[in-house]
Amino acid sequence: MTAAALTAAVPAARAATPAQPAPPSPASAAGAGTLSSTPTTPVSPGRALTLLQAGNARYAALRQAHPHLDAARRKEVATAQHPFAVVLGCLDSRVPPELVFDQGLGDLMTVRTAGQALDDAVLGSIQYAVQVKHIKLVVVLGHERCGAAEAAVEYVRTGIPAEGPLAEIVEQMAPAAREARHLPGDWVENTVRANVARVQEELASDSTFDGALVVGARFDLDTGHVTFEPSSHHRRA
Ligand SMILES: [Zn+2]
């Protein structure tokens, strides 16, 4: 669906809650590997990654806990939020971060653009999550059969620039498609991976992400599993 209409996903990281001094109580595990109720100190990158992995394992196994969606949670987050990770994902309807990581209200900040494309608004939203909300884990979430990657491959294969709403996205993903062109295996799949790595590298080089971990990940539409890439980066942590 390379010509799908692009309704821009509105970055969700605009909540204007002022930064709050971190209370002393540490984050602790609750029940099925979900975060206990707030308040918490900033969750460490490793802990945040573990929470996401546990949530995705539940999702893939169709054993979701559907945490943090009840009336008490709504009330709790109505006045303050302490999300533990920010996810930059694709706008694809099959890859909603809160669902594939089995998280609830107030758990994740998410930004979604076709092919995880970066621009100033996206970068600023992630910077807000890291700097103001003290989030220590940034996930770049690509996925199998990404329409934006298919369009980028088509562009590189034919030399014919994409037209319409995907044009800018395709232009941004073209370097990944070129990089992946001669790799063994599926070109689109390799483009997805190369693009995640490029976006990850770009975010990891942001000097304002002091102490935050930036990881790349790939969502498998067939199995529901998220695979985190080993080439993660710590910024001066
Ligand atoms: Zn996609």
Which tens digits make up the pLDDT trace of 179-228?
A: 999 999 999 999 999 999 999 999 999 999 888 999 999 999 999 999 99
Q: Structure pTM?
A: 0.82
CA 165 from centre of chain: 22
Q: Would you say 234 is a known binding-site residue?
A: no
Q: What pLDDT does residue 173 have?
A: 97
Output the CA 40–ligand 1 centroid distance in Å. 33
Whether 160 maps to a domain, the answer reads: no
CATH of the domain at 206: 3.40.1050.10
**How many structural domains comprise the chain?**
1
Whether 139 maps to a domain, the answer reads: yes
Q: Would you say 92 is a known binding-site residue?
A: yes
Output the CA 220–ligand 1 centroid distance in Å. 12
Average pLDDT, the chain: 85
Which tokens go with 35? 């975060």
Q: What is the pLDDT of residues 91-124, one digit of tens each?
A: 999 999 999 999 999 999 999 999 999 999 999 9
Output the CA 93–ligand 1 centroid distance in Å. 9
Output the CA 119–ligand 1 centroid distance in Å. 16
Q: What pLDDT does residue 30 have?
A: 38
Whether 75 maps to a domain, the answer reads: yes
Output the CA 52–ligand 1 centroid distance in Å. 20
Whether 167 maps to a domain, the answer reads: no
Can you list the alpha helix ranges (DSSP code H) found in 40-186?
45-60, 71-78, 97-100, 120-131, 147-158, 167-180
Q: What is the pLDDT of residues 135-156, one digit of tens each?
A: 999 999 999 999 999 999 999 9
Q: Would you say 182 is a known binding-site residue?
A: no
Q: Would you say 210 is a known binding-site residue?
A: no
Whether 86 maps to a domain, the answer reads: yes
Domain span at 229? 40-144+196-234
Can you list the alpha helix ranges (DSSP code H) found in 93-158?
97-100, 120-131, 147-158
